[in-house]
Amino acid sequence: MSISFESRVVVVTGAGGALGRVYAREFARRGAAVVVNDLGGTARGTGSAPDAADAVVAEIRAAGGKAVASYDTVATREGSQRVIEAALHSFGRIDVVINNAGNIRSDWFGDVTEADLRSQIDTHLMGSFFATQAAWPAMVAQKYGRILFTTSAAGMLGNRGQTGYGAAKGGITGLMNVVSLEGRRLGILCNAIQPNAHNRMGEDMARVMDGEAIDRFSIVPGLGASMTADFTVPLAVYLASEACQSSHAVFSSLGGRFARVFTGITAGWQGDRDTPATAEEVAEHFDDIGDTSRGFVVPDDLINEYELLLAQPAGQAGRP
C-alpha cells in the first residue's frame, strides 16, 4: 500500500519547529498542498517572526512541492480562523489539520504563575480547539476529514515541573476523545500522537530539573538517532491519511517504537448493587481495585463502560 496526499490540503500548525517542519515536508513530498503555519518566537511562546514558516515553505517549493506560509497564532479564534482560511483561499479545500503548535513554561508547581499556565492552555488546548472548529464546517460539508492532535507523555503519564504543559496536553486528549466520537459519523477521524524527539523545549525542561530528573534523563542518549523528528513522521502521516480508519485513539512514537496509549479500567472489586459499600470495605479491597494483573477493559466511550459492566456475570463485573 502506498500512501498519497495528491489533491489533499493539509494544515500543519507550528510547522516551523522540530516535528512540524518534518511533517510539512513529508506531506508535500507525498503530493499535498500544505499550509505551513508558525507564529515564530521562543520556546516559551514569546515574540513572533515569519522566518520559521518562510524557511519551510522555501524548502518545500525548492523540492517542487506546494506550500503557503501562515504566521497567525492558533491561540485565538481569529488567528486560527485565518490559518484555515489560508487553506481554503489558497487551495480551495481542507482535508487534514495537524494540531502541532506548542510552547512550554516549566516550573515547580508551587511557583507556577497564572500567566504561564494560561499561555500553555491557550496555545495547546485552545489552539487545537480553535483550529479544529474552524476547519469543521468544510470537513462536514465534504464528509471527509482527518484531525491529528498532539498530546505528550507529560500529560498522559506526568512529568515533574510541567504543570501547565501537562494540563494542556491532558486536556487535548479529552478534546480528542469527544471530537472523535462526534466526527466518526461525519467522516471525520481524529487521533492523538504522543511524540518524542529532541527539540528546544528540552532546554526549558532542563532549566528546572533536579538531580534525580537529570539522572533519569541520562538514559536518553541510548536512544541514538531515533530521537529525531524523522522517526515520528511516519506515524503522523499514516494517521492523517485516507488509509487510516482508526479514530479516537492515542499513539506513542518513542525510539522507533509505535504503540497505542489507552485508558483502561481494572477488573476492580464489585460491591453490592443495592447497598453502598463502606470505606472500610474499599480499604480492604483496595489492592484488588488497583490490580491490573487480573485484566482490564478499554471502553470506547462513557456508555460503553456501563455496557461492559452490565455484560459481566454477577460477581464478575468489570472483568474483561
Residues binding ligand NAI (CB under 6 A): 13-14, 16-20, 37-41, 43, 45, 52, 73-75, 100-103, 123, 127, 150, 152, 195-197, 199-201
State the nearest-atom distance from the C-beta of 101 to ligand NAI, in Å: 3
* Closer residue to ligand NAI, CB minimum distance, 35 or 297: 35
What sections of 123-189 are H helices per DSSP? Answer: 127-142, 153-156, 163-184
Cα angle 188, 99, 146 (rounded to 5 degrees) comes to 20
- Closest residue by beta carbon to ligand NAI: 17
Gap between the Cα atoms of 314 and 309, Å rounded: 10
Question: Grid coordinates 492523538 are at which residue?
Answer: 192
Contacts of 122 (CB under 8 A, 6+ apart): 75, 76
Q: Where are the beta strands (DSSP E) in the chain?
A: 9-12, 33-37, 66-70, 96-98, 145-150, 188-194, 249-254, 257-261, 265-266, 296-297
Contacts of 219 (CB under 8 A, 6+ apart): none
State the nearest-atom distance from the C-beta of 198 to ligand NAI, in Å: 7
Residue 192, strand partner residues: 149, 250
Contact between 42 and 277 under an 8 Å Cβ cutoff? The reply is no
State the nearest-atom distance from the C-beta of 147 to ligand NAI, in Å: 14
* Closer residue to ligand NAI, CB minimum distance, 189 or 201: 201
* Closer residue to ligand NAI, CB minimum distance, 224 or 295: 224
* Known catalytic membership, residue 165: yes
State the nearest-atom distance from the C-beta of 53 to ligand NAI, in Å: 8
State the nearest-atom distance from the C-beta of 192 to ligand NAI, in Å: 10
* Closer residue to ligand NAI, CB minimum distance, 160 or 285: 160
Instruction: Point out the catalytic residue in the list 23, 71, 144, 165.
Output: 165
* Closer residue to ligand NAI, CB minimum distance, 39 or 97: 39
Nearest to 127 by CA among 155, 99, 153, 147: 99
Name the residues annotated as catalytic. Answer: 165
